[in-house]
Chains A and B, each alone.
Chain A
Amino acid sequence: QVRLEQSGAEVKKPGASVKVSCKTSGYTFRRFYVHWMRQAPGQGLEWMGVINPADGGTTYTQKIQGRVTMTSETSTSTVYMELNSLRSDDTAVYYCATYGSGTYALFDYWGQGTVVTVSS
């Protein structure tokens, strides 16, 4: 079965960096884009960006462009999201998800979420 397993909770100080991993299994890794979303405490969902595991191509939302890097590692079917220059408002649950389109529109799987807390 399809699974996305994320790394554990992180506590970081302002100005630091965090790198969250998302290990996928149960499907052809290179076939579907992997998206990253976050959800601040008590708030809604925010789409952060996407990576194409087939070629490493990325698109990021303008809000965090310049602070975020998404990478993929084909050998382990793992995607990473690194966020730099952390601020208190980066405190959130971070999710990876893979979802398809067209014929694969109902292919939709999410990780369990990773809590990132930014606090001095």
Chain B
Amino acid sequence: EIVLTQSPATLSLSPGARATLLCRASQSVSTYLAWYQQKRGQAPRLLINDASSRATGIPGRFSGSGSGTDFTLTISSLEAEDFAVYYCQQRSNWPYTFGQGTKLEIK
């Protein structure tokens, strides 16, 4: 099973700041990596798939990069609605494991 490790566990930033979230895989997943945003009481929402392809309707301030074992989700300028929990998920091999999440909170 591929283990995904996200860092940091919690990120405290102010609106307008730049956020950088990391996801490291225990073995190569090529670019088969997705990023999700989840708000309290809601199902996860796809932000990025295939490491860098932005999903339909996702603002341009969200971007993804990386390949192999190291991936980054960047939010260029935080807005109030961006404060949530973010998960990465690998889709290289079953089981399609998730990282433990990064909570992005308002500073």
**Which A residues have a C-beta under 8 Å from some C-beta of B?**
35, 37, 44-47, 49-50, 59, 61-62, 95, 97, 99, 101, 105-106, 108, 110-113
Interface of A is mostly: strand
Contact of B46 among A35, A37, A108, A111 (CB under 8 A): A108
Q: Is B63 an interface residue (CB 8 A)?
A: no
- Are A108's CB and B55's CB within 8 A? yes
- Are B49's CB and A45's CB within 8 A? no
Residue of B nearest to A113 (CB): B43
- Are B98's CB and A95's CB within 8 A? no
Contact of B98 among A46, A49, A59, A113 (CB under 8 A): A46
- Are A47's CB and B95's CB within 8 A? yes
- Are A45's CB and B44's CB within 8 A? yes
Q: How far is the CA of A14 from the CA of B16 in the complex (A)?
A: 48
Q: How far is the CA of A62 from the CA of B55 in the complex (A)?
A: 30
Q: How far is the CA of A95 from the CA of B42 in the complex (A)?
A: 11
B99: chain A residues at CB < 8 Å are 44
A46: chain B residues at CB < 8 Å are 98
Q: How far is the CA of A115 from the CA of B78 in the complex (A)?
A: 32
Contact of A35 among B32, B96, B101 (CB under 8 A): B96
A45: chain B residues at CB < 8 Å are 36, 38, 44, 87, 89, 98, 101
B36: chain A residues at CB < 8 Å are 45
- Are B96's CB and A47's CB within 8 A? yes
Interface residues in B31-47 by Cβ distance below 8 A to A read 32, 34, 36, 38, 43-44, 46
B96: chain A residues at CB < 8 Å are 35, 47, 50
A12 to chain B, nearest CB (A): 22
For B80-107 the 0/1 string (1 means CB < 8 A from A) is: 0000000101010011111111000000
B35 to chain A, nearest CB (A): 11
